[in-house]
Structure 1
Amino acid sequence: MNYDTRHNPRQAVTADDGRTLPITTFEPASETRGVVLVVPAMATPSSYYAPLATHLAARGWRTVTFDYRGMGSRAEMKAEPADVDRWFADVRTILDAVADDADGLPVTWIGHSLGGQMVPFVDHTRLASVITVSAGDGYWRRNQPGVRWIAPFLWRVVAPLAIRVAGYYPGDRLNMVGDLPAGAMRQWGRWCLHPEYLQADHPEAPELFAEVKAPMMSLSFTDDELMSADSIRHLHDWYSNAALVRQRFSPDQLDGRRLGHHGFFRSANADLWEELLEPWLAS
């Protein structure tokens, strides 16, 4: 696949607190049809989305990926005070920079999991289209049965003790979620224990979600090991004024492929990107 990262509009963005936020731009080698911002899931590095970004750039979409601040080495995580709200503010700045550099081209937001929850907290009027992938509300009672009864133990016992010992949340070593800065893990846990999720800290959330009016497509999979149909429905019901299309697929509908929570972004599923994503990308 042919793409070129040498001609990025930017390689970094400056956050509102002066922090430098690196970004990676996958630039089409020929005419650009539109711009895509890929907003990652919790504890998922931007490199995970590089195959998709490469693919989209080869097909004419300038595609931007990034990591949430603090998502680097263990030393970086230990030193990082950011919580999820800080990430929301950073992504608002990143979207503004990406839209400023779009030269009038339409911008599409692809939000994976957590990335699908952030739209109300950025300037979504700059978005021509929104795609959420495996995005639900996170409240533990709406998790899939396999993780539902483990979740309270994680949030109330494992995570606090692990953070106290390690100075960050060592999820990779625990095989539970993934490595995260302490502040982000604590806030996320508070949300996951609250029946209305992020309304634990954002009681204004219903009004913010209702302000989103961009065309939106929700993509989810029945074999997602984390997000149940109920959690996905509950989150997207908050987008009450968006032009929303919901698509949900079983392995039987995808030639037997099991995608789970992360599998859609693997390069083996490039045919699904063309079939399920591209019709929703603004151009």
Structure 2
Amino acid sequence: MEEQRGTAAAADGHELAVTRFAAQEPAFASVLIAGAMGVRQDFYAPLARFLAANGMHVLTFDYRGMGWSRRRPMRGFEADISLWVERDVAAMLAEARQAAPALPLCVLGHSLGGQILGVTPGAEGVRAAVTVCAGSGYYRYNDRIPLQVRLLWFVFMPLLIPIFGYFPGKALRVVGDLPRGVATQWRKWCLHPDYIASESAAYREAFLRVKAPLLGYSFEDDELITKPAIDNLHGLYANAALERRHLRPSDVARLAVGHFGYFSERSRDTLWQDTLAWLRTKVR
């Protein structure tokens, strides 16, 4: 298996850090892994290697200003989530497709990556998609850490963003540093019951263009996103062939899975195998 770090151009020419994982032959599909807010792409490398070893070309990337794509101070860096969607994710979809044009293209989106798939230009051409812990960020859905959520949206962000010119989440151990526009737009969505669909009628309609098979994982012990939030978000994918798996840790022989445990090596023989088998079936 060949693994190569490099760069790829976003739609406006901005260079993004990427890692390409070449499949062991014969390859049956390509997959783009779109990550969660504040999570660097190497977090997904174990899963990427597993998929590549089992016949999938895999592309991972960092949104501009984040992870290995961060090449300048965060203060004054101009980006919001809509820009990530329209210029970064759309271009990475095209990059993955161009690398193996004869193969079906799939997407695996974690949290934010699964939320924004529906509004990404080109998503209607995806053959199959998997979401992991992707749900509405509307703050009233989160009844597990209500105090922390309210402090984030009503105290820390409105207080600190004007002072620093970005959200200094790394110092707070919350999400990580975020560009001003990203944090501001995310906060606006999280304070609205319709979350991402509150951005515009065009965003709500964009979800309807996704008609591919869609597998959505959620976990009973997810500390960040609850089942109602995940069900609400997946309701936007009204024309997709949706399958939901809401699991307890004991269902996959684990003591805990939470928001990030799907991507642990401990998921290799359970969740990863389940995902691989599902993708093989859907891209035939």
TM-score (norm 2): 0.91
Deviations 1:49-89 (A, max 9, x none): 01111111111111110001001459532242111011101
Structure 1 counterpart of 2:85, one-letter code: F
Give the structure 2 partner of residue 147 of structure 1.
145
Aligned mates of 1:49, 1:88 — CA distance in 2? 19
Aligned mates of 2:24, 2:76 — CA distance in 1? 39
Give the structure 2 partner of residue 56 of structure 1.
51
Deviations 1:218-263 (A, max 9, x none): 0110000011111001001111111000001002212233111111
Deviates more, 1:203-212 or 1:77-86: 203-212
Aligned mates of 1:255, 1:120 — CA distance in 2? 32
1:163-202 mapped onto 2 (5 Å cutoff): 163-202=161-200
Q: Partner of 2:32: helix, strand, or coil?
A: strand
Residues 76 and 32 of structure 1: CA distance in aligned 2, closer, same or farther (over 3 Å): farther
Residues 185 and 267 of structure 1: CA distance in aligned 2, closer, same or farther (over 3 Å): same
The sequence identity of aligned pairs, in percent, is: 39
Aligned mates of 1:95, 1:74 — CA distance in 2? 22
TM-score (norm 1): 0.91
Aligned mates of 1:177, 1:74 — CA distance in 2? 19
Aligned mates of 1:204, 1:29 — CA distance in 2? 40
- Across the aligned residues of Structure 1 and Structure 2, the Cα RMSD in angstroms comes to 1.8
Aligned mates of 2:10, 2:135 — CA distance in 1? 27
Q: Partner of 1:150: helix, strand, or coil?
A: helix
Check the 8 A contact 1:99/1:126 in 2, yes or no.
no
Give the total of aligned pairs.
277
CA-CA distance at 1:119 after TM superposition: 1.8
Give the structure 1 partner of residue 40 of structure 2.
45
Q: Does 1:16 find its partner at 2:11?
A: yes
CA-CA distance at 1:271 after TM superposition: 1.3
Deviates more, 1:260-269 or 1:12-21: 12-21
Match of 2:274 among 273, 276, 280: 276
Aligned mates of 1:149, 1:203 — CA distance in 2? 31
Give the structure 1 partner of residue 129 of structure 2.
130
Check the 8 A contact 1:168/1:182 in 2, yes or no.
yes
Q: Does 1:224 find its partner at 2:222?
A: yes
Check the 8 A contact 1:217/1:245 in 2, yes or no.
yes
Deviates more, 1:219-228 or 1:158-167: 158-167
Structure 2 counterpart of 1:83, one-letter code: D
Gaps of 5+ in 2: none
Give the structure 2 partner of residue 68 of structure 1.
63
Match of 2:242 among 239, 244, 256: 244
Deviations 1:102-152 (A, max 9, x none): 231011100001111122222123211010000001100112x12234323
Gaps of 5+ in 1: none
Deviates more, 1:207-216 or 1:194-203: 194-203
Match of 2:80 among 79, 83, 103: 83
Give the structure 1 partner of residue 111 of structure 2.
113
Check the 8 A contact 1:134/1:219 in 2, yes or no.
yes
Aligned mates of 2:72, 2:9 — CA distance in 1? 22
Aligned mates of 1:159, 1:63 — CA distance in 2? 35
Structure 1 counterpart of 2:8, one-letter code: V
Check the 8 A contact 1:152/1:193 in 2, yes or no.
no
